[in-house]
Structure 1
Amino acid sequence: MILDVKNLTKTFEKNNKTFTAVDNISFQINKGECLGIVGESGSGKSTIAKMLVRLLNPDSGEINFLGKDLATANKSELQATRKDIQMIFQNPLDSFNPRKKLKTSVGAGLKYIMGLNKKEIDKKVNEALNLVGLKPEYADRYINKISGGECQRAAIARAILVEPKLLICDEITSALDVSVQAQIIDLLVDLRNKMNMSYIFITHDLTLVRYLCDRVLVMYKGNEVESGTAKDIFENPMHPYTKLLLSCIMTVDNIDENKSISYEKLQHSGGCKFKEMCPNRMEICNSIKPEIKQINNRNIRCHLYND
């Protein structure tokens, strides 16, 4: 096991109201494994990712990565882990300096994380660009002179350049057209086989999750509602929310990450967070929050499965 997350929690304040974006989440990832995290906008997926790389500080919980708790790590301890855990963002264009050539932006990590010289950096940058399907001449191009798919490939090259053990992919295909999406996913599969990396794949595209992931964590309003193997989740969903996602009753528009989040809707009055939408709502759902139960090798949070 390379990552063991325990009881991770994060709250935010908006208009003098506090809401819980990530509520006591736990999960594990083994070497070479891919975990898909799915759910609609506001479910807490990206907040988890940002806490794992400490772009956000958790309120409580543990992030045990290769034997170190990143949740409490200081600046120097975090710096020591940068090589082993990398993140690719939804919009890679925002993460590149438009005034610098691609080779400079892609190779920055080698200078600051690994302390390599210019000759060593140029060599590794060319190798990484080749690995993601970009020709050597791309090294001297600026980010505004390449396509969206090429930009995403460059972002992947930058992330894998330091040979991480865990790669976090946060909605990395959502801004790409279908043909380019397929190319990026095939690239990730190929890199996983070559480098034996572990992945966290955050998306609202369930088709990609089924194709790419070994296990799936389904989230709703900051809670884990169900998790298990991809095969079990897709062939036999147990939680009502998971069933809605997979039956397409919950349309793509409903789970589109690009829409604005209504923080007022994230407020919770007690009981089950899914009660207002649940077709199986019972009286107990109104007042008592269900606990996580282990059933048939998966976790599920639902009163339907009370003993």
Structure 2
Amino acid sequence: MTAFHLAVQMALLMLVGFMSGKLKIVDEKFGPSLAGFIYNIIFPCVVFRSMLRDFDLSKISDMSLLVIISVLTMGLMALFGIGINLVFKKNDNLSRIMIMNLMFTNFTYMAFPVMEALFGDTGNLYIVAYTTPVRILFYIVTPILFIVGRGKESENCEPKIMGKTVLLALLSPPVLAVPIGFFFYFTKMPLPESLLRAVDSLASAATPMGMALCGVTLTGIPLLKMFADKRVIFISLLRLVAAPAIVTAIFYLITRQVSLDPIIVKVSVVYCALPAAAASAVIAMKAKADEVKAAQCVLITTLLSVLTLPVWVFISERLF
């Protein structure tokens, strides 16, 4: 039921954005402006807050293992996406959106309440560890994915220009928030409570704003066509079916040889069964990389996860 309620909430947030666009409450300039605000203001607050409050060194061995699993899973999903693109000979924006969706799920809004509902406080602790590298790499990898992946079709494909563009991505506000957050975490330097509350309030707006932006982005598409794009449906099935199936199969083989904490395995499997991150539409819009298709992927994976996520929870409970 947790997955169902979360999916409905996210769909309603998207509906708010969609109706705002349809009723002309916002104009065509609103989407890009909101994307810029989210990327440059909201995302750094999300990262900074997670570094200060969520980063926890207790149960270090289990959490270290989850960090390693998380990084390896992202790498595996990247290779899987690249392989799919090579097989189908695709090198367009949607092919890069697919890789982004395979690597990164809805790692905040759905991951935490789902893990808490399923595994209690242990689930909360473990998903904090699992998503720590996800949060860092999401803001580093995704902009570079669209810059480097374009190749010859990009206007900025010359090595010097591309190198400068990659450098700018690495110096973007969300990425710079990582070392700043770590500095304050490890030095324990006190910060004013009013500042922390302001950062917390802005960070909490990430998912509502991201989902509303998805809705605004979809305004120009006829309702029936949202569910008619075969490649978007294919990407959604890869995200919700193929990705967790691969991870489940690997863990099934590993656990027959090595003893692992069942909750570690279940958290890893269930995480991979979550829908696409709402923030992926923001990244696509900032990169001018078919943000409409990115928003469609968020919408469809979110709606379908109501059906698929309980299945993967059941499978993980039976196998592990």
Q: TM-score, normalised by structure 1?
A: 0.25
Higher strand share: 1
Q: Which structure has the higher relative contact order (CA within 8 Å, separation 6+)?
A: 2
More helix by share: 2
Q: Which has the greater radius of gyration? A: 1
TM-score of the superposition, structure 2-length normalised?
Answer: 0.24
